[in-house]
Structure 1
Amino acid sequence: MICWKFVKYYKGLFKTMRKSTGIIIGFLVILIIILLSIGFGTAGLLPSILNTHKQMIVDATIVVPPMQYVIFPIDPHSSYNSCKIQGTFSAGGGSDDIRVYVVDKQGFDAFRRDDKFNAYFSTPQQIGGDIAATVPCDRTIYLVYDNSFSLITGKTVTTKVDFEFEQIFQDPNKLYLDDDIFQPSIPEKPVGDPNDGYYDPGE
């Protein structure tokens, strides 16, 4: 009888130990999963660290002939975020005014056709002011100085404009910038119709 009681006691003890072991193992498994999730979550956050950069588009006095315009194309990299164009301009010559636009390719093509177009930034004819535009980072953007409304007088424009952006952290020593992307494009042939081309300020 006593032996049977011992057997029942130890059976109960073993069951309790097995249950406790199962609970402990289950707890450890859950803990490991949580720790791994935190680790992967942290690893996922690392590429999302952003560095803010600024690249000069133009810092010069440019000449815009009558019935012409000057453009500066900006070609962002796919790793950019929060792209902005910011700066100032001041016009001289004739009535001392100029128009300034910030547009994408679709807007620029419409502008060239003298059609209505959407702009991220635009001014009427004015002597000067600030340039401030938040632009998409996934397409080419054009900074346009437009003197096409002036039939006779060329304009000189003193302007300083920067392209600001944030970049997903990948290689801290690599900015993915091409030294030439902020240079004015050069027409392949002389401009016949001023609405079909633009003047290169480097000429």
Structure 2
Amino acid sequence: MTVSERRNYQVGIVFSIIFHLALVLIAFPMHLLSVPAGIDEIAVGIFEFSGAQPELVAVELEPELAVEPEKMIAKPTPRPTKPVAPAGPRPKNGALDPKAQTSGNLPKAPVSLGDGTGMINGFGQAPYYPKNAVNEGVEGKVLVRALVKTDGSLEAVELVESSGDARLDRAAVNSLYENWVFKPHSEAYYIEVSFSFSLNSGVGYQLVRSATRP
């Protein structure tokens, strides 16, 4: 086989292949588009919606009644009431109760008895000067008050002003208990006495004041 014959043979083969491919391509779509027997056709419809919109009905709303706010009424502040003392029992027959008279319940004012000289029966001896206080050079004054009963007996002795030394104070108080004698009186009374302790003049006393007491 010559070269020209071989070329013509190859060209023929190519055309044969192209022809068969064209037949296949033509037959294949027709097979796909065909509907198999026994299958009903499905009707496709288009539904149209009317463009008319439903009418809107206007509804009138009743206006709400305005409610006025309640007025706050301030409550009056109660005034404090003064406490009233309960009335005591009324005396019978309209007589006044002597206890209700304040003047009768008031304590009696003390009556002055001068310096108390007239209320003493015996002054007795002066108090002794404690030796240890003398040795130490201690001096001072003591003011004491003697409380006397109505029968003249001594009820108690009070220290009004101290000398600053307990030994001198004790000597003055003991002197009234041991050596002094007082007169009876219709009311109890007191007498104040001042005692002095001096290294130069020794021990002395002076009546200061006296008066009745409750």
Higher normalized strand content (fraction of residues): 1
Superposition TM-score tier, normalisation by shorter sequence: under 0.3
The structure number with the bigger radius of gyration is 2
TM-score (norm 2): 0.24
TM-score (norm 1): 0.25
